Amino acid sequence: MVCVACEQPTGAGQSENDLVCPGCWSRVRILSHPRCERCGHPGTDEACAWCALLPQYVRACRSVCWVPEGRGGAIVHALKYGGWVKVAGPMGLRMSRTDWPADVAAERSALVPVPLSRDRLRERGYNQSELLAGVIGPCWGLPVWTDVLRRQRKTKTQTKLTPGERLANVAGAFAIEPGAESKLPGAHVLLVDDVITTASTLNACAAVLYDHGARIISYVTFGRARSAADAG
């Protein structure tokens, strides 16, 4: 077998489900400590610049590793563009092990994966965020709500866009599915995505959920891109 991240033989003892070799997992750049209690970004709670990206109704955000550096970016790419859907298993397990403020762990109601447009879903054949949520849900004992949010228009990939272009790209892109409003009042919803960069996509989703009754929203992703203020 060949590792889907480094394209080298995985070695003896690896099962057909071990699509990423141990060497690549060891090279994933885990977010360092200390971290902001709210947004999980390396640093301190005092004057956290990354928290400024989040609306007030977003309680917390957690990610596993930096991307695209290390092997994190290659692992995300294998899931998102390579068709290696089984990689979602170990990615989701690592996401489920992230630490959270006690109130978030106690009151979270459901997971909502960031939806793809119909065209993108047809092209890819699956929603990587939904696959990740499907792994995390049983670990946390939470339902996965795939019938709450919809992406009502196809957007450009955010990868090469500036922060301003990212905001414009996702403006008005999301809407509530008909009949879903009854689920949201008072709920603490966890939005799930593969990567967070400027939070523009997740913020756009959160705004729709909040406007339709969700009391508070938190985010969980596998990867996080460094901001301009991050050193190293």
Determine, yes or no, domain membership for 188: yes
What is the secondary structure of 160-175 as a DSSP string? T--HHHHHHHHTT-EE
Nearest to 43 by CA among 53, 51, 33: 33
Determine, yes or no, domain membership for 176: yes
Nearest to 190 by CA among 122, 129, 126: 129
C-alpha–C-alpha distance, residues 99 and 101, integer Å: 7
Determine, yes or no, domain membership for 64: yes
Does residue 227 surpass a pLDDT of 70? Answer: yes
Determine, yes or no, domain membership for 10: no
C-alpha–C-alpha distance, residues 223 and 211, integer Å: 27
Residue 164 has a pLDDT of: 55
Which residue range is the domain that position 124 belongs to?
31-224
pLDDT over 90, % of the chain: 75
Q: Provide the number of structural domains found in the chain.
A: 1
Determine, yes or no, domain membership for 231: no
Nearest to 221 by CA among 142, 132, 147, 159: 132
Residue holding tokens 């099962």?
15
Using a 10 angstrom Cβ sphere, with 0-12 exposed, 13-18 middle and 19 or more buried, the burial of residue 112 is: buried
pTM of the model: 0.91
Average pLDDT over residues 62-83: 96
Determine, yes or no, domain membership for 4: no
179-205 pLDDT, tens per residue?
A: 888 999 999 999 999 999 989 999 999
Q: For position 71, which CATH number holds? A: 3.40.50
Residue holding tokens 């406007």?
211
